[in-house]
Amino acid sequence: MDTKSLIWTREPGQYHISDDRISITTEPGTDLWQRTYYHFRNDNAPVLQMETEEKFFSFVVKTDFTESHHRFDQCGIVMYLDSENWLKGSVEYETEKFQHLGSVVTNHGYSDWATTAIPADVKTMWYRLSRREDDYCIECSTDGVHFSQMRVCHMWEGAGKIRFGIYACSPEQSSFTAVFTDFAVTECAWKAHDGQQPDE
């Protein structure tokens, strides 16, 4: 994967890109969220992505968020199509005792958030985003080898050409440097369903 070919949506003030490592320093008040529950709309997080029309693939990246320290500090994997259609997977800092491993799927301007609490001493996480046409799967791993499913979803605007990559943000008054390594784009690791057959 050529990191130099990635394209910014909202370029941050501080970042560094090399062949095998990307760092992003977040700015206070940056986030991705649309409407649901909180009723506000935040759409100003920096997003770094590549484009593809490939309908079956997986994208893997390792995130290091050792510096995160304030509520909602986060970094992870993203597929950002436009302000109202995107998905993301990340760990969000909460307190010195726990943080949230979770994913957000936003279709037609409404976000959801599915989470599970994990210990606060977890400071790295691998993610794998897989595409099967306009259906997607987000997985996570603590070792980069064994992945666990976080989310299966449908993206209403997720057919055809898409963009996917990484993001980092600090929704409150905070800043930290997120580090991304171990990038890979592979054949689709999310295999076709082998149970109930599709309806005719």
Res 154: pLDDT: 98
pLDDT at 184 over 90: yes
Helices (H) then strands (E): counts for the chain: 0, 17
Res 195: pLDDT: 82
Residue pointed to by tokens 């054949």: 187
Q: Does residue 7 lie in a domain region?
A: yes
Q: Does residue 38 lie in a domain region?
A: yes
Q: Does residue 178 lie in a domain region?
A: yes
pLDDT at 200 over 80: no
Res 197: pLDDT: 82
pLDDT at 100 over 80: yes
Q: Does residue 196 lie in a domain region?
A: no
Question: How many independent structural domains does the chain possess?
Answer: 1
pTM as predicted: 0.96
Residue pointed to by tokens 């691998």: 126
Q: Does residue 84 lie in a domain region?
A: yes
Please, are residues 158 and 81 in contact by the beta-carbon 8 Å criterion?
yes
Mean pLDDT of the chain: 96
Residue 5 DSSP SS3: helix
Res 196: pLDDT: 82
Q: What is the pLDDT of residues 122-159, one digit of tens each?
A: 999 999 999 999 999 999 999 999 999 999 999 999 99
Q: Does residue 104 lie in a domain region?
A: yes
> Which residues span the domain enclosing 85?
3-186
Q: Does residue 197 lie in a domain region?
A: no
The pLDDT-based confidence of 1 (bands split at 50, 70, 90) is confident
| Token digits of residue 82 | 């436009």
Q: Does residue 195 lie in a domain region?
A: no
CATH number of the domain within which 158 lies: 2.60.120.200
List the Cα angle 113/117/122 in 5-degree steps. Answer: 115
